[in-house]
Amino acid sequence: MLGFSLGKLIVLGLIIAAVWYGFKFVGRRNKGVGRKSVDPEVDQAAASDAQNMEKCAQCATFVPAAVAQNCGRDECPYPAAGAE
């Protein structure tokens, strides 16, 4: 009843091969899903959106260095809006 015949071994080998190559196929297909862009123009555009931040010594909030404005406190190191 549980004898190993050549036909059963061939079918078992085909099933194992089908599962093995199925997993390899799915793994290769999913590997490309989360890939980053290789276009340097796209990478440069994303990098240009980043801004340097500075911590206000008075109120301890972080503000963009290019557009830092006065927080309204007496000791604030940043100029008031429109006072440049």
pTM here? 0.37
Residue 15, number of CB atoms within 10 A of its CB: 10
**Residue ranges of the domains in the chain?**
51-84
Q: What's the length of the chain?
A: 84
d(CA 53, CA 73): 19
d(CA 36, CA 40): 11
What is the model's pLDDT at position 47? 61
Q: Which residues pair with 53 in a beta bridge?
A: 64
What is the model's pLDDT at position 25? 93
Which stretches of the chain drop beneath a pLDDT of 50? none
